[in-house]
Amino acid sequence: MVEEGLFRGAYPTTKNFRFLKRLKLKTIVSLIPAPPKKEFLEFCEEEDIISKHIVVPKFKEEDGKVVFLSSAVCAILQIIIDSSNLPLFIHCLDGAHNTGLVVMCLRKLQNWRLTNIYSEFTRFTRDPRVSSTESEFVESFNGEVIIPTEVPSWLWPARITTHPTIRIKIQAPTKDQSKKVKTEHAYWKEPESNISRKISALALEDGKSLKRSQ
């Protein structure tokens, strides 16, 4: 458990569904290359869980390079700090680096010390060290995070309007925040310049950038 109502792990298989069912989840965020399997989507449908699939390349330990853009992490953070999405389970293929990077940025948003952020991260990885590209990403992470109107109490001790290292923007209330689709797919694409390992994020909040199915 990351925080109350926020859980992390590896890709769930059928043997994990019984445990996930006990968590009474509202949302599952999948940071994986391919669409979730049929049995996974059927489980979400049966348990009335919203599945948010964000297509993220597999992390390669041999090069240790980050596969996210800062803007993508900001959009994912907006999902996991929205109280209406909790309880929430976030996962990648192995539950380590990609999920861990998002959690590290969450901890930075919570004003954790870097030493504590890295210590927690390495509890879930094979290597007891944080790669230089991952640490550089976290230390320089200052993208704009949209703060939902309702956030969990564990985010900050008190509501804030500014952050010492991250740009935050308070989301304005909308007329209807209750309408949610059962499955969302957000896709990444290689830039036209085809620069190796550079990945362009399509904004999650832009309806034109999402493929949705009811």
Do the Cβ atoms of 8 and 2 come closer than 8 Å?
yes
**Whole-number Cα distances in Å, 2 to 37, 151, 173, 188:** 25, 15, 27, 26
Cα–Cα distance between 197 and 188 in angstroms, integer?
Answer: 12
Region at 43 (left for phi over 0; alpha for psi -120 to 50; beta for the rest): alpha
The amino acid sitting at 209 is S
Eight-state DSSP code of residue 208: G
Query: Is-catalytic flag, 92?
Result: yes
The amino acid sitting at 5 is G
Which of the residues are catalytic? Answer: 92
